[in-house]
Structures are given as structure tokens and as C-alpha cells.
Amino acid sequence: MILLDGKATSNKIKEEIAIEVQELTKSGIRAPHLAAILVGDNGASLTYVNAKVKACAKAGFESTLVTLPLDISEDGLLNEIEKLNTNPEIDGFIVQLPLPKHIDEQKVLMAVNPDKDVDGFHPTNVGKMALNLPTFLPATPFGILELLERYKVETSGKHVVVIGRSHIVGSPMSILMSQKRAAGNATVTITHSRTKNLKEITLQADIIVAALGIPEFLTADMVKDGVTVIDVGITRIEDKTKKNGFRLAGDVHFESVSKKSNFITPVPGGVGPMTIAMLMKNTLLAAKRRG
């Protein structure tokens, strides 16, 4: 069993990015500038956004964190987005999800200028992604591709089973891995809550991407020997023995599944840190386009 170490790989990528930033600034181009909008104070979102801000500092990026109250109106949020859209100092920005229920998420994502949409969530960029045209790839799927590529996990002709059809992970993952590209050329099956006989399907998988958000859902009886497993889930589970009062659980029952796996990502330290590294990569790309 080989651990797909997202923490170490993301640190390497961030170092590579930092070198590129140095070269940019030496040639008189200012450093990339990422902004993030955080609505409310959800603990997990706060952790992820803070990690993004920290990663910016490490790579020599500028960063701006816009924190808005949980009860901000949809118009109030759209107004903040417009400010970032038109601010020439900002190369790219994200609106951290999830948003409170009174705000229409689709409307918000569509308000982001596609040229600054470093999450790759705008329909224009989703369309480009689906057509395999150059664009910002959504950070989590992008990070998974990068991890598979760097560990030389063969994907060509392999059967990939994606569990979950979210717009952020499951759907783009299934599209990307079926494309003619690095870490692509796979035969992809996408499964979801209405799928019948899921276990019959996962037992045929060479690679499984678990992105359904149910802790320890994928168990050893559902996978074949030699499988590669990508665990996208990250759920906080109350645990009074822990200092912060919770532990993190993935969508994979790591202890049992890892015994049958050739390659597997841990949680934490797998897909999460890669997501952040690829957001940085997208922001660097936005800054280079600006020149």
C-alpha cells in the first residue's frame, strides 16, 4: 500500500509556485493576489479559508479575506462580488461554500467574473472544462488529477468509479478523467444516491473516487484487491477525547480499505491540502494572464 501524500505533495507544489512568483516579481510583475469571501463563521469553512490565506503568504501571494455576517442579504453579497470583479488589484477570488440557505448559490457563482473565477465554478468555465479547453479547473478535481499524475498512477483504460455527483467534485471528476489528458483516458462510471447495486459496481473499479459526504461509507467488502482509492470526504465527528472536540472522518473506512489498496489517500493529509495548492496554481495562472 502506497499512501498518496497530499500534504507533502501540496508543499512541493507550493514551493514550485513560490519560485515562479519570485521570477515574476523579479521581472517587474507584481505578485498574484487572491481574495476570498467568507459568509458567516462556520468552523470548517473558517479553517479552510484560513489555510488558503496562510498558503498565500507562504508562496509570496497577496491575499484579502472579506468576512461577511451570516445574515447578509443576497444583494449585499452580490455587491461585494462586484467590487472584487472590478478591482484591478485582485487577480482571482472565491466565494467559500456552503452559503446560508437564504442565498441562491447559483446566482452568486454566476456573478463572478469568469476571468477571476479561480474556483472554476462559473458556467463559462464549467463549459470550457467539459470541452477540454484551457480554463481554471475546479481545485479539488484538479488536485486529484495532479496527485494521480505525480504518483504515476495509471489511469488510461482503467475503470474509474466516482461516488457522488456534486458540481464541485463528482461531476467534474467524472468528466475530467474520461478526457484525453494526463490522469485521464479512463472508462468512468458515475454513481449516486439512486444507483442500484453500488457494491457490484465498486467491486469492478480500478480507481474509486469517494465524494458523497458520508463518513466511512466505503468499506473493504466493496473494493477489489489492488484498488486505488481517493477519499474526498471530510466530516467533523464529535470526539470528546480530542482537544478541539472532534475528529475528521473521510468517506472511506481507511483501516480496512487500505489493506486491499495499491494507492490510497489519507484524511486528513490527502485531497484537502491538494485543493489549496491547486487554487494557488489557478491564481498564479490568472496573474500570468494579467502580465
Residues of this chain that bind ligand L34 (CB under 6 A) = 47-48, 51, 94-97, 119, 139-140, 234, 248, 267-269, 272-273, 275-276
CA distance 97 to 105: 8
24/111 with CB nearer ligand L34: 111
Q: How far is the CB of 47 from ligand L34 (least distance, A)?
A: 5
52 carries an active-site annotation: yes
**Residue in 119, 206, 231, 251 annotated catalytic:** 119
Encoded amino acid at 107, one letter: K
Q: How far is the CB of 269 from ligand L34 (least distance, A)?
A: 5
**Residue in 96, 206, 231, 281 annotated catalytic:** 96
Residue nearest to ligand L34 (CB): 272
CA distance 56 to 1: 33
**Residue in 5, 14, 52, 206 annotated catalytic:** 52
Q: How far is the CB of 172 from ligand L34 (least distance, A)?
A: 11
Q: How far is the CB of 291 from ligand L34 (least distance, A)?
A: 26
186/276 with CB nearer ligand L34: 276
C-alpha cell at 14: 507550493
205/267 with CB nearer ligand L34: 267
24/234 with CB nearer ligand L34: 234
**Which sequence positions are flagged as catalytic?**
52, 96, 119
